[in-house]
Chains A and B, each alone.
Chain A
Amino acid sequence: MTSAKTILLGAVAYDPKVVTIWEGIREHFQEQGVPMDFALFSNYERQVEELLKGHIDIAWNTPLAHVRIRQHTSGKSLSLGMRDSDRDFHAKVIVRRDRDVKSLKDLEGKTLAVGSADSTQARILPLYFVAKEGVDLNRVNIFPFDTDLGKHGDTGTSEIDVLKALNEGRADAGTVGDLIWVNEQAAGHIDSSKVEVLWTTPGFDHCMFDALSSLAPEKVEPFKRALFAMRWDNPQHRKLLELEGLREWLPPREEGYASLQDALKQQRKEQ
């Protein structure tokens, strides 16, 4: 496991289940004849640094971490794969039915609950897209839930906080990712007499396996082969895929990160 051939993968321990996931995937890789081990980090900033220093071979990154890797490597990093659920992600603007928010412009003068500062889906991109639609964010009372900073919104805690604030009437509107929004609705956790969706952002892509361009092809190809061999109808794989929130691994694509890159550029200008 410690030979030079072993792929060392980095992941962020945002939940105890992360250990179960990667131990299971490691076992699957071993069955495929691909030696792999993993290192867990407490936050994505550290993981990005360690990948750039070459201390790990591959990082399982959030969109924010992925975009940072692209910036630091001037777009030369290798993108290796993503979840089906990472493609065409959207964010939602949810409103209370009793607060008379009929259009995005109506958000001005209202309280808008948002997720963690480093959550792509609950904060960075919904605010970016809402501003692009002509809403003056300086006139919106932003009500932030900065929980689990460093985890880039992985835990979903801040999104649940946003929905709770809406339900309790502490906010007039709120922003969450579509995954949490439809899953909470499907599970019957949303009181649709109180809240409804007002607007859906354009699509964007989510997590990505990143590596430096210097990563040996003897690691890149086996990694992809083992990863894409996982199947939803295989009982061992399915347990892991369910925990990681996907049905199948898909090849990478870059176009889904353009909006986030632009949003971060604007943030830097404003600072």
Chain B
Amino acid sequence: MSAQVAAMAVDGGELPLGGGLLALVRPALNVLEPRGMLAVLSRAPSVREDLPSWCRVERHEYLGVERIAGSFDRHLIARGEFSVPLPSTVHEGRLVPRDGRLTASDVLEVAPLPSGADPFTGFAPRGARVEPGGPGYPFTLNEREHVAPQEVAKLYDQAVTSQWDATCDIPWDKVKPLSFPLAHAVAQIMTFLAENELSALYVPARFIPRIHPAYAEVAMFLASQLADEARHIDVFLKRARLCGVGLGTSSVTTSRSLLSLMETEDFTEMAFLLSVLGEGTFLDLLSFIERHAPDEPTAELTRRAKTDESRHVHFGLAHVRYGLANDPNLYGRLEEAVRRRAAALHGVAGVPAPVQDALTILAAGSAEPEAVARGHEAFRELLDTMHASRMRRLQHAGFTAQQAETISELHTPNFM
């Protein structure tokens, strides 16, 4: 049906006003433009008394009744000015399934993200007709360029199809008993990963209530990210406990670093620090753990976590790239955010010692001095790899080589 209709008719048969007639009259008036005309055909005499009164109360104009062919009444109503306005935007395109599937990207094509959104539309879904006069909502992310890159729907679709089950998708019964130093190393690494992933669960969650529901796909993508993090925390802690030596140590360095992340108040800065820099760096860390994993379940859970994290990095990159393209001041703000965070972590020397040691032993595969030397070398290479990847990623996001160098050097030694 077209959005604007000038006149229409409904046949109310013998329905009284309070016996169902309004279920025909109200929706019909709802699609009329203001002053548009509705004819109500009726065989119920009481409607002659009730329809004018209802129109008065609802501020529609009752124009009169005519007896047609001696058998039924035709009442005429002009739609009043106080009804829900028709949408001012162009009508949505038609949603068509492709090969039996409907994706969020398909929806985005017919219902594109608006450049700005009104906090007074509350939780009304994008495209809904919104009755004016509702309360304002405390959403602060009300502009597309600050919140919603076009890629978000595709990433959400990927996230939905990539969910996995921490209970049974990891071959848990293949976990091998490890030597004491290696068991300690794995428990420490898994404790560290879980601690960081807890922050990755809490930090984006703070921003969901700030996102205007017109950009629901962003909130939905973040929800999938939260589900990913929950699953990672789950598998990392299961793997840690399977070592049988208790959990590892949580360092002050890690705690300070994650608090500074949690205190970030700007959505784009958060996406940059957490997803581009933090989770980006974690991709190399997870590859390292997968490569040196002492058994198949450890390799498998790390590989799966890495696939999920890679999606989060993509969203962060898309978000930052989109922001940089629209806001020339963003470069400066992001560099400043990294500097502020580095200043807050001033005095923090390097990777937390328990984590560095555990990664070294993991890469060594044993506590034999010769193996440990190899492990140490592998750890040093990991730091170089992380720096090189950050440089590549930052330049991909739109930073110059020099800016990328500065930012990468300032990045937290906690990785996340």
Chain A residues at the B interface, C-beta cutoff of 8 Å = 84-85, 88, 90, 92, 178-179, 181-186, 188, 190, 192-193, 196-200, 232-235, 237-238, 247
Instruction: Name the B residues within 8 Å of A237 (CB-CB).
Output: 133
Contact stretch, chosen from B16-24, B344-352, B368-376, B383-391: B16-24
Is B49 in the interface zone, CB < 8 Å from A? yes
Known: A192-B19, A196-B16. A84 touches B59 (CB 8 A): yes
Task: Provide the bound-state CA to CA distance between A184 and B133, in Å.
Answer: 24
Task: Provide the bound-state CA to CA distance between A177 and B136, in Å.
Answer: 35
Instruction: Name the A residues within 8 Å of B133 (CB-CB).
Output: 232-235, 237-238
A183 contacts B136, C-beta separation under 8 Å? no
Task: Provide the bound-state CA to CA distance between A257 and B34, in Å.
Answer: 31
Task: Provide the bound-state CA to CA distance between A190 and B19, in Å.
Answer: 8
Chain A nearest Cβ from B98, distance in angstroms: 40
Chain A nearest Cβ from B25, distance in angstroms: 10
B16 contacts A192, C-beta separation under 8 Å? yes
Task: Provide the bound-state CA to CA distance between A193 and B44, in Å.
Answer: 12
Chain B 159-202 near chain A by CB (<8 Å), digits 1 or 0: 00000000000000000000000000000000000000000000
Task: Provide the bound-state CA to CA distance between A165 and B4, in Å.
Answer: 45
* Residue of chain B at shortest CB distance from A186: B22
B49 contacts A92, C-beta separation under 8 Å? yes
Minimum-distance CB pairs A-B, first 8? A185-B18, A238-B133, A192-B19, A233-B132, A178-B53, A197-B49, A192-B16, A190-B18
* Residue of chain B at shortest CB distance from A178: B53
Give the contacts of B32-87 with A (CB-CB under 8 A). 46, 49-50, 52-54, 56-57, 59, 82
Instruction: Name the B residues within 8 Å of A197 (CB-CB).
Output: 46, 49-50
Instruction: Name the A residues within 8 Å of B134 (CB-CB).
Output: 235
* Residue of chain A at shortest CB distance from B59: A247
Instruction: Name the A residues within 8 Å of B17 (CB-CB).
Output: 182, 185-186, 192
Is B120 in the interface zone, CB < 8 Å from A? yes
A235 contacts B136, C-beta separation under 8 Å? yes
Residue among B49, B52, B134 facing the most chain A CB atoms (10 A cut-off): B49
Task: Provide the bound-state CA to CA distance between A88 and B52, in Å.
Answer: 11
Number of B interface residues in the complex (CB < 8 A)? 21
Known: A190-B18, A196-B46. A235 touches B135 (CB 8 A): yes
Q: Which of B18, B46, B49, B120 contacts A186 (CB 8 A)?
A: B18
Instruction: Name the B residues within 8 Å of A188 (CB-CB).
Output: 18
Residue among A84, A197, A232 facing the most chain B CB atoms (10 A cut-off): A197
Q: Which of A182, A198, A233 contacts B53 (CB 8 A)?
A: A182
Q: Which of B16, B50, B53, B82 contacts A247 (CB 8 A)?
A: B82
Ordered by A's residue number, 19 sampled pairs between the chains whose C-beta atoms are within 8 Å are A178-B53, A179-B57, A181-B50, A182-B50, A182-B53, A182-B54, A184-B18, A185-B18, A186-B17, A186-B54, A192-B17, A192-B46, A197-B46, A197-B50, A198-B49, A200-B53, A232-B133, A237-B133, A247-B82
Give the contacts of B125-162 with A (CB-CB under 8 A). 132-136
Instruction: Name the B residues within 8 Å of A179 (CB-CB).
Output: 57
Instruction: Name the A residues within 8 Å of B53 (CB-CB).
Output: 90, 92, 178, 181-182, 200
Chain A nearest Cβ from B384, distance in angstroms: 57
Q: Which of B16, B18, B46, B56 contacts A178 (CB 8 A)?
A: B56
* Residue of chain A at shortest CB distance from B120: A235
Chain A nearest Cβ from B15, distance in angstroms: 9
Task: Provide the bound-state CA to CA distance between A196 and B45, in Å.
Answer: 10
Instruction: Name the B residues within 8 Å of A178 (CB-CB).
Output: 53, 56-57
Instruction: Name the B residues within 8 Å of A247 (CB-CB).
Output: 59, 82
Chain B nearest Cβ from A56, distance in angstroms: 30
Chain B 231-261 near chain A by CB (<8 Å), digits 1 or 0: 0000000000000000000000000000000
A85 contacts B57, C-beta separation under 8 Å? yes
Instruction: Name the B residues within 8 Å of A186 (CB-CB).
Output: 17-18, 22, 54
Instruction: Name the A residues within 8 Å of B18 (CB-CB).
Output: 184-186, 188, 190, 192
Task: Provide the bound-state CA to CA distance between A192 and B49, in Å.
Answer: 14
Task: Provide the bound-state CA to CA distance between A190 and B120, in Å.
Answer: 35
Chain B nearest Cβ from A53, distance in angstroms: 36
Chain B nearest Cβ from A133, distance in angstroms: 14
Residue among A178, A183, A190, A193 facing the most chain B CB atoms (10 A cut-off): A178
Task: Provide the bound-state CA to CA distance between A198 and B16, in Å.
Answer: 13
Task: Provide the bound-state CA to CA distance between A232 and B58, in Å.
Answer: 13
Instruction: Name the B residues within 8 Å of A235 (CB-CB).
Output: 120, 133-136
Chain B nearest Cβ from A103, distance in angstroms: 12
Known: A190-B18, A197-B50, A200-B49. A183 touches B132 (CB 8 A): no
Task: Provide the bound-state CA to CA distance between A88 and B57, in Å.
Answer: 10
B49 contacts A199, C-beta separation under 8 Å? yes
Instruction: Name the A residues within 8 Å of B49 (CB-CB).
Output: 92, 197-200
Task: Provide the bound-state CA to CA distance between A247 and B132, in Å.
Answer: 12
Chain A nearest Cβ from B249, distance in angstroms: 53
Instruction: Name the B residues within 8 Å of A232 (CB-CB).
Output: 82, 132-133
Task: Provide the bound-state CA to CA distance between A38 and B136, in Å.
Answer: 28
Instruction: Name the A residues within 8 Å of B82 (CB-CB).
Output: 232, 247
* Residue of chain A at shortest CB distance from B50: A197
* Residue of chain B at shortest CB distance from A183: B57
Chain A nearest Cβ from B54, distance in angstroms: 4
Known: A185-B16, A200-B52, A233-B132. 5 other contacts (CB 8 A): A92-B49, A185-B54, A199-B49, A234-B133, A235-B120
Instruction: Name the A residues within 8 Å of B52 (CB-CB).
Output: 200
Instruction: Name the B residues within 8 Å of A84 (CB-CB).
Output: 59
Chain A nearest Cβ from B322, distance in angstroms: 32
Task: Provide the bound-state CA to CA distance between A80 and B16, in Å.
Answer: 38
* Residue of chain A at shortest CB distance from B22: A186
Chain B 80-100 near chain A by CB (<8 Å), digits 1 or 0: 001000000000000000000
Task: Provide the bound-state CA to CA distance between A185 and B19, in Å.
Answer: 8
Chain B nearest Cβ from A104, distance in angstroms: 13
Instruction: Name the B residues within 8 Å of A88 (CB-CB).
Output: 56
Task: Provide the bound-state CA to CA distance between A39 and B38, in Å.
Answer: 45
Chain B nearest Cβ from A171, distance in angstroms: 18
Residue among A184, A192, A200 facing the most chain B CB atoms (10 A cut-off): A192
